[in-house]
Structure 1
Amino acid sequence: MDPIATEHKVALAEEEMELDQQIGQEAVTTEETRDRRTINNDNEPVATAGSQNKDDKAQDEIDPQQQAYRLYVYDLKTEQQQQQQCQLLSSTGTRYNTTVRKTLENETTLFQQKVDPSLVYDGNNHFRNAKWSPDGCCLLSNSNDNVLRLFNLPYEMLDEQAETDTITELATNFGIREGETVYDFAWFPSMNSQDPATCCFITSVRDHPMHMWDACTGNLRASYAVIDHRERFVGPNVVSFNLDGSRIYCGYENMIEIFDIQRPGQESQKVPTIPQRRTKKGQKGIISCLDFSPDYAGLYAAGSYSHTVGIYDETNNELCLKLTDIKTGVTQVKFSPDGSQLFSASRVSNVISCWDIRNTAEVLYELPRPGQTSQRIVFDIDPSGKMLITGAQDGSILFHDISNGPETTATTENSDSSRLVRSIDHAHQDLTVCATINPMYPWLIASASGQRKYSAAAGNDDSSDESSDDDDEDDKDDNTQHKDSNSIDNSLKLWRVPGHSEWYSYPVEQEEQQ
């Protein structure tokens, strides 16, 4: 064997051994440094570079054998917390405090469709509803001009700790105008702004097919046609996706119709809510609202203008439970996050009812809310299931504590009022039509305002027909209420609600760890 080659191999082996020793020493040094960074002198965890606030400290203290999640808790209950004010962050101001015709003239360049303002109904351009996108990055609104406007959320508002002293202007650069009254609209439940394929929403329009719109380009993706026995297009009064977004559920008179999202057109599954036209069985009337149980129990609720709420099984669409003794037409139903309770709101009613759908099928308690109007007033529940917020007829935003069960309060009007923990008085100068919580950033809430002004449409014979929506049946009940209201406030506002984040944990099963 060549002695030179042997010496060379020995030298390489020695170099490799020295290199391994250096790597081992660096690893030990790195481990000691990390330990020193995460353990202070009192042997307590402290924030590292990736977790520099209290929330991340709490997360670091959780046992690695447990799964952790975070919830935002509102600071509204105690007297000290009530001194913290809800902060107005952004608003559309007085931009929409005008008629439909003037609004369309000012924003013609925003619409994807050509609009001739001289041919449209010239009524008060009030907001009807507003809904957060599932990823919480934008807000979609509907107004009396039949336009759906998309408002992108400024990034600085997504920071829980950010503070600002100025009220920014809430502006839109995107709008879609439908040809008739927009009854309802719904976001695709898996919508994510980082994935353009999921950025879409569906609309229900009077006497038109349902339209699925691309939220990035404004283009029409698909249409789903509801056709009655007379071969006429029917605009459903309510439209909703199921939890996984695979099907579209819509409701109209005595019918729930289901579409496969992958099959646009007329193919659908019709689910009659009554077995025969002349019968007392089933759920009669126009299906006005839908909501799916968020606990994936396979249930969904349907409210009717015939004063009933039905609970259906999603697997076979059979009626499981029927809630009655409701005085007026139901305008909204919403499950609690755990699926054990159902909240409902009705027309010309001053309360929101909480139903026990697991045991007694009776009203547990009622939350007071000024609402002597046929116009929809939309409420929402925070992700923790502890707080319900709603608009009110006097322009305020109400916060109700729903964390405690009925056994802690007597069934009296005074005790129900005790659940009201905060009110933003005069949030709007007109009726607050909706109050909704951001699903991803719950410290942000949005509110919209406005109502029909019959004086603005005086002298126009078509005004009542063009401005009416699915609330037509009871318009006579609140004509006087609207005529006496002279203030005009058609605005959309964003608020920050004081609170803090709390970490919760639950044990991870052995199979899940493996």
Structure 2
Amino acid sequence: MSNTNFPIQREDELKHNLAHKVLPPWRRYDRFDIEYVRPSLQSSKGLNFFQTLKWSPGGRSILALTENQKLTNWPISTRDTDTKEQAFILGKDEKKAVTPSECVYSFAWHPFQNNEKQDSDLFAFSTKDYPIQLYNIAKQQRVSSFYIVDHREQFTGSHCMDFTPDGEYLIAGGTDNVYLFNVHQGQKSPVSTTPTSGHGFSTWEPTLDGVQSSICLNPQNPRTVALGTFNNTVGIYDNYGSRPCQLKFSLATGTGITCMKWSPDGCKMYVGSRKSTQIEVWDTRYAQDMLYELKDHKGDTNQRMSFDTFGYEGLISGGTDGCVSVWQGTELVEKINVTDQRNVTVAAVQKHPLDSSLLALCYGRRSDIMDDEDGFSSMEYWNSAFSSLQLWGMNNAFP
């Protein structure tokens, strides 16, 4: 890819060090549970669960989306325990929520004031049939709006968004198009709209068809953008999504991409898909074939599952078995059940942006009837907390 520089890594030495490094024990700091209240087994009303979460850029709060379409900001504070060790707690009394008008497609934190003294208060969210909203959670008010208009001149939402590291632009994926908005100037219409498929493409230029479902900026060169689609294909673009597509590849399994992560060196990409039991790893410098796959992922679900990188060539992810798994390269080195031995999908796992020893995760799912596969009676099933937002710690974790 043009204008892309990747650092040289001593791979043999780093892999050898990781292979002999023992993972530290896990410790749960705090949790917030959602109890299910079912007035009738024939109705799904009253159900609520955590769907996904994202750390703020400075790591002082967590923005979580629940099934009732509320975005809640949970402040994170520290306290000293009796053993004089530092613990982290969720600010249950200080949390603030916003309820969008429609189903939330995606959301992203703005990196404004990303420093040790003050964290960001701004985030953008996209909903069905409404413009993208830039919201100030501290002031509880909308800051600005950004319009994506389809061929019928109707507003349409974006299933994936991300801000540039300087916060000047918002990149939003659409259907056969990628949009770039100027945040600082507050322009409602995009400053550029780049088609990824359709008329006007030459036979040699790769195209990216369908609804774009995931977006990820290269950590070594943020102008390089990876876009994933519900058609299970990935395209990599330079200069914030400008043509032509530099690289395109398709996943071997799954029904639609739900999460992508670059490796810290910006050379490899981890890609997860719906209804897939593996996470595929691709080398974006070549991409002739898949580099390797992380098996036993436990991702056979239509829920959107998000994972995170964990050190060099490491990955941490949830699963439908209620466990969080850690890989080093192709090897599964750690698995811990975080759902009190229940087979509930752990939908999101993210490490703290500044401290990799602190993790946040959430789990939960919708279920209209009690099935025997869970192994619980109906009374035990509905009286137990089947959705939770949790903070976990790992001493001396990977950098």
TM-score range relative to shorter protein? 0.7 to 0.9
Per the normalisation by structure 1, the TM-score is 0.64
In the TM superposition, what is the alpha-carbon distance from 1:216 to its structure 2 partner? 1.6
The alpha-carbon distance between structure 1 residues 229 and 354, as it changes in their structure 2 partners (threshold 3 A), is: same
CA contact (8 A) 1:99 1:123 kept: yes
Is 1:291 matched up with 2:208?
no
**Bigger radius of gyration:** 1
Is 1:438 matched up with 2:364?
no
Is 1:353 matched up with 2:269?
no
In the TM superposition, what is the alpha-carbon distance from 1:264 to its structure 2 partner? 3.2
- Which of 56, 65, 69 is equivalent to 1:133? 56
In the TM superposition, what is the alpha-carbon distance from 1:379 to its structure 2 partner? 0.3
Query: CA offsets per residue over residues 345-370 of structure 1, 9 Å max, x none?
Result: 01100011110111244211111200
2:31 aligns to what?
91
Aligned counterparts of 2:116 and 2:70: Cα–Cα separation in 1: 25
1:19 aligns to what?
none
1:218 aligns to what?
140
- Which of 172, 191, 210 is equivalent to 1:250? 172
Match runs of 1:280-359 below 5 Å: 282-296=207-221, 298-314=223-239, 316-327=242-253, 328-359=255-286
1:370 aligns to what?
298
CA contact (8 A) 1:191 1:200 kept: no
In the TM superposition, what is the alpha-carbon distance from 1:480 to its structure 2 partner? 12
In the TM superposition, what is the alpha-carbon distance from 1:207 to its structure 2 partner? 1.0
Look up the SS of the partner of 2:25 in the other structure. coil
1:156 aligns to what?
79
Look up the SS of the partner of 2:72 in the other structure. strand
CA contact (8 A) 1:373 1:481 kept: no
1:407 aligns to what?
none
Match runs of 1:12-161 below 5 Å: 81=22, 84-93=24-33, 96-98=34-36, 122-156=45-79
The alpha-carbon distance between structure 1 residues 374 and 433, as it changes in their structure 2 partners (threshold 3 A), is: same
In the TM superposition, what is the alpha-carbon distance from 1:286 to its structure 2 partner? 0.7
Comparing both structures, which one devotes a greater share of its residues to helix? Answer: 1
**Percent of aligned pairs sharing the same letter:** 26
The alpha-carbon distance between structure 1 residues 155 and 376, as it changes in their structure 2 partners (threshold 3 A), is: same
1:379 aligns to what?
307
CA contact (8 A) 1:243 1:292 kept: no
The alpha-carbon distance between structure 1 residues 123 and 311, as it changes in their structure 2 partners (threshold 3 A), is: farther
Query: CA offsets per residue over residues 135-166 of structure 1, 9 Å max, x none?
Result: 11111100111111111111238xxx9356xx
In the TM superposition, what is the alpha-carbon distance from 1:266 to its structure 2 partner? 2.5
1:10 aligns to what?
none
Aligned counterparts of 1:309 and 1:99: Cα–Cα separation in 2: 40
Match runs of 1:356-435 below 5 Å: 356-368=283-295, 369-382=297-310, 384-402=311-329, 416=330, 419-427=331-339, 429=342, 430-435=344-349
CA contact (8 A) 1:446 1:495 kept: yes
In the TM superposition, what is the alpha-carbon distance from 1:372 to its structure 2 partner? 0.8
Aligned counterparts of 2:337 and 2:395: Cα–Cα separation in 1: 16
CA contact (8 A) 2:122 2:134 kept: yes
Look up the SS of the partner of 2:151 in the other structure. coil
The alpha-carbon distance between structure 1 residues 210 and 481, as it changes in their structure 2 partners (threshold 3 A), is: farther
Look up the SS of the partner of 1:189 in the other structure. coil
In the TM superposition, what is the alpha-carbon distance from 1:183 to its structure 2 partner? 1.0
In the TM superposition, what is the alpha-carbon distance from 1:453 to its structure 2 partner? 2.1
CA contact (8 A) 2:356 2:397 kept: no
CA contact (8 A) 2:148 2:157 kept: yes
* Counterpart AA for 2:300: Q
Aligned counterparts of 1:497 and 1:230: Cα–Cα separation in 2: 51
CA contact (8 A) 1:351 1:366 kept: yes
Is 1:499 matched up with 2:388?
no
Aligned counterparts of 2:64 and 2:348: Cα–Cα separation in 1: 10
Per the normalisation by structure 2, the TM-score is 0.81
In the TM superposition, what is the alpha-carbon distance from 1:250 to its structure 2 partner? 1.1
Aligned counterparts of 1:186 and 1:100: Cα–Cα separation in 2: 32
2:3 aligns to what?
none
CA contact (8 A) 1:100 1:144 kept: no
* Over 6 Å off, 4+ runs: 193-197, 277-280, 479-482
The alpha-carbon distance between structure 1 residues 491 and 325, as it changes in their structure 2 partners (threshold 3 A), is: closer
* Counterpart AA for 2:280: S
1:65 aligns to what?
none
Look up the SS of the partner of 2:114 in the other structure. coil
What is the alpha-carbon root mean square deviation over aligned residues? 3.3
Query: CA offsets per residue over residues 206-245 of structure 1, 9 Å max, x none?
Result: 1111111113222111111111121211011111112322
Unpaired stretches in structure 2, ≥5 consecutive residues = 1-16
Deviates more, 1:420-429 or 1:363-372: 420-429
* Counterpart AA for 2:25: Q
Query: CA offsets per residue over residues 368-412 of structure 1, 9 Å max, x none?
Result: 200111111110013x4342110101111011113xxxxxxxxxx
- Which of 174, 181, 184 is equivalent to 2:106? 184
Aligned counterparts of 2:306 and 2:119: Cα–Cα separation in 1: 29
In the TM superposition, what is the alpha-carbon distance from 1:191 to its structure 2 partner? 4.2
- Which of 129, 134, 144 is equivalent to 1:207? 129
In the TM superposition, what is the alpha-carbon distance from 1:189 to its structure 2 partner? 2.5
